C-alpha cells in the first residue's frame, strides 16, 4: 500500500473512531494498523487473529467485534468471496480496486482496470441504475 494512502487512512480512521466516541484500546489500534500494513488485502478475522497472536493483543472475539465496529463506521469493506468467510480491507474512497482470487493457492491480488470500470458504468446506465458502488472478485487459477 502506498505510504501516503496508509497514513491518510490511519488519520481518517482515528478521526472517525474519536468522533464516534470509540476508545483507542490496544486491540483496536493493533487491528487498524494491521489493516493498513503494506500488502494486507482481504484478510479474514481469523487470519488477523493469527497475525496478532504473537503480540499478545486481542482475542478472536475482540477482533470480530472491532471489525464489526470498523465496518459500521465505514472504515473497512467486508467481502464474501463465496466460501462463507468474510474478509476485510480498508475502505478508501480514493483507491478503488477489485480482486483476483487464485483457487489453487488462495492468494488474493488487487487489480484496477479502467476498461472494466467503463463497462460497469455502461451496464448500469443501460439498465437505468444509478451506481453507489460495486465490487468485482474474479476467481480462477493463475496459468503456470
As for how many domains the chain has, the answer is 2
Same domain, 85 and 121: no
Report the predicted TM-score, pTM, of the whole model to 2 decimal places.
0.76
Count other C-beta atoms under 10 Å from residue 3's C-beta: 9
CATH code where residue 29 lies: 1.10.10.10
At 82 the pLDDT is 67
pLDDT: is 84 or 111 the higher one?
Answer: 111
Same domain, 111 and 69: no
Cα–Cα distance, 32 to 69 (Å, whole number): 11
Same domain, 82 and 128: no
Full domain range(s) for residue 102? 98-140
Residue 116 has pLDDT above 90, yes or no: yes
Helix (H, G, I), strand (E, B) or coil at 107: coil
Same domain, 124 and 86: no
Same domain, 84 and 129: no
Residue 39 has pLDDT above 60, yes or no: no
Confidence of residue 38 (pLDDT cuts 50, 70, 90): low
Amino acid at each position: 500500500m502506498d505510504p501516503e494512502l496508509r497514513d491518510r487512512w490511519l488519520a481518517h480512521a482515528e478521526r472517525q473512531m474519536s468522533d464516534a466516541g470509540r476508545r483507542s484500546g490496544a486491540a483496536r489500534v493493533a487491528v487498524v494498523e494491521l489493516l493498513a500494513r503494506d500488502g494486507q488485502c482481504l484478510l479474514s478475522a481469523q487470519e488477523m487473529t493469527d497475525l496478532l497472536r504473537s503480540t499478545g493483543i486481542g482475542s478472536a472475539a475482540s477482533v470480530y467485534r472491532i471489525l464489526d465496529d470498523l465496518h459500521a463506521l465505514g472504515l473497512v469493506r467486508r467481502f464474501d468471496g463465496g466460501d462463507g468467510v468474510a474478509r476485510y480491507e480498508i475502505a478508501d474512497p480514493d483507491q478503488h480496486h477489485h480482486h483476483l482470487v487464485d483457487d489453487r493457492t488462495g492468494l488474493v491480488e488487487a487489480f484496477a482496470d479502467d476498461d472494466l470500470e467503463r463497462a460497469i458504468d455502461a451496464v448500469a446506465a443501460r439498465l437505468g441504475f444509478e451506481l453507489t458502488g460495486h465490487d468485482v472478485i474474479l476467481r480462477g487459477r493463475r496459468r503456470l
